[in-house]
Structure formats: C-alpha cells, structure tokens
Amino acid sequence: MTYDELVATIQSYTENQFPTTYLADGSGVTSTTQINTFIKQAEQRIFNTIQFPSLRRNVTGTTTINNKYLSCPSDFLAVYSMAVIDGVGSYEYLLNKDVNFIRQAYPVPTDTAIPKYYALFGPTTTSGGSPTITNELSFILGPTPDAAYSVELHYFYYPTSIVDSGDGHTWLGDNFDSVLLYGSLVEAYTFMKGEADLMALYDGKYKEALALAKRLGDGMERQDAYRSGQYRQAVT
C-alpha cells in the first residue's frame, strides 16, 4: 500500500475528508497534516510494539579513553547486540546490564579496562570531563575504556515514515499494510471521537493485524542458524 492509497483508504473508511480545522489562535490544521499525524502515530505505536528483524542495522564507532559513554544513533529504537572488536578482528560481545549494576560494579571512573558490560543511559554524555546534554540517548560502559576500542552496535531502528518516504513506499506499507491501515484508523477515530462500536472494531482489527505481523515478521527471518542467542545442540 502506497502513501496515496493509505490516505484515500483512511478517508473512505472514516467517510471524512478531514477539512482544515482552526485553533483558538486562528491557525489552521490542514487535512494533510491531520492524516499524516494519524499515520505517524500509528507507525510509532507499531515500531514500539514489534521489533521486526528486517529493521535492524549495524554501525561501528570508537570508544574514547577514560570516557565511559557512547552516543546512540539518531534513529535508534532498541539494542540487539554490542561488541568490542580487538586488533585482530575478534568480537567480544558485551553483556547488557542495568545502569545501577555498572555504577556499583565500577564506582571509580579511573578504574579502566576493556569494557565488559553496557547499559542504555539517559541523554547525558560526558566529553572532556564535563557533562554535555544532548537530545539522544547514550550507552554507559563498564569498566571505563582504557583505550580507543572499535565497537559494533547492532540495533533496531526507526525507519522513515511513509509520509516522508518520497516515493510513497516503505517496508511496513509494502509488507504489512493491514496493521498500518488499522493503526491509522484507530488514531483517526480517536481524533474524531467516533462511535464506540466502530472504535472497538478497528482496535480489534489492529490487534489481530499486529499479532499476525509479529508472527510473520519472525517467520520471514527464520533460517538454520543461531537466532537471538538460542543454543543449538548437536544431533547425535
């Protein structure tokens, strides 16, 4: 389903063209803005509910000596794995821990070594000994790096919205258009303060489509390999 098809279907299902509405200050919210908001809210809810294997990517970075923080990518949604790469290319995967664990285990910032643990931290990073506030999340490492190590982050990301895709296509719209449609309808009917029976109907359809998308999303990625840390026992 393309963007134009999605917009037309939302208008058809709701029997509403969503004419421009005017706020108390006299400014107007156009039909396009209203529908785009419904769609983006639905996308955000979907991606925060399901972590699709197809929406993962890798980035590499480098730690800074005596700095226990790493910045997150701007499109970061959730972490899949993090590894330190040594000089010969070997991967040492870090264990995901709570921030409090790392702070208690390594209370002295000057206790440095190759990192073993990481945790998702708030939007505060440290640079040059003084805290710098950013709009992005960051990772805290334990222990504090004693050298400039290469780090590979494998993570789930927020894809570009179908509203902003340019060609009207996205992975979600092409593969799971039903969950995107019904999610948008739930948002639209909430805005419209629609009838309770229709709201319940679309919410039920959305949840059914969401469950199906989760099952199919996992199944599409299945292969004869290690998956999500699963242990494989040899067949004898």
- Where do runs of H (alpha helix) occur along the chain? 3-14, 31-49, 99-105, 171-175, 177-192, 196-219
Tell me the three state secondary structure of residue 23.
Answer: coil
User: pTM to 2 decimals?
Assistant: 0.77
Measured distance CA(90)–CA(85) in Å, rounded: 6
* Predicted pLDDT at 232: 45
In this prediction, residue 214 carries a pLDDT of 87
Q: What tokens were used for 105? A: 């285990």
Q: How far apart are the first and last CA of the chain?
A: 48
Instruction: Assess whether pLDDT exceeds 50 at residue 165.
Output: yes
DSSP calls for 52-86: -TTSEEEEEEE-BTTB-EEEPPTTEEEEEEEEEE-
Strands 95-96 vs 130-133: parallel, antiparallel or unpaired: unpaired
pLDDT digits (tens, 9 = 90+) for 141-162: 999 999 999 999 999 999 999 9
Residue spans per domain, the chain: 3-52+160-219, 56-157
Q: How far is CA 203 from CA 139, 190, 226, in A?
A: 36, 10, 36
How many whole angstroms separate alpha carbon 50 and alpha carbon 176?
12
Provide, rounded to the nearest whole percent, the portion of the chain with pLDDT above 90: 65
Strand partners, 222: none
pLDDT at 170 over 90: yes
Band of pLDDT at residue 223, cut at 50, 70 and 90:
low
Contacts of 99 (CB under 8 A, 6+ apart): 119, 120, 121, 140
- 25 compared with 12, residue with greater pLDDT: 12
Task: Report the distance separating Cα 128 and Cα 117, nearest Å.
Answer: 22
pLDDT on residue 25: 86
Distance (Å, rounded) from C-alpha 68 to C-alpha 41?
Answer: 34
The residue to which tokens 């921030």 are assigned: 99
pLDDT tens, residue by residue, 78-105? 999 999 998 788 899 999 999 999 999 9
Could you report the per-residue pLDDT of 30-66, keeping only the tens digit for each?
999 999 999 999 999 999 998 888 899 999 999 999 9
Average pLDDT estimate for 13-21: 92
Q: Mean per-residue pLDDT for 130-148?
A: 80
171-206 residue pLDDT tens: 999 999 999 999 999 999 999 998 999 999 999 999
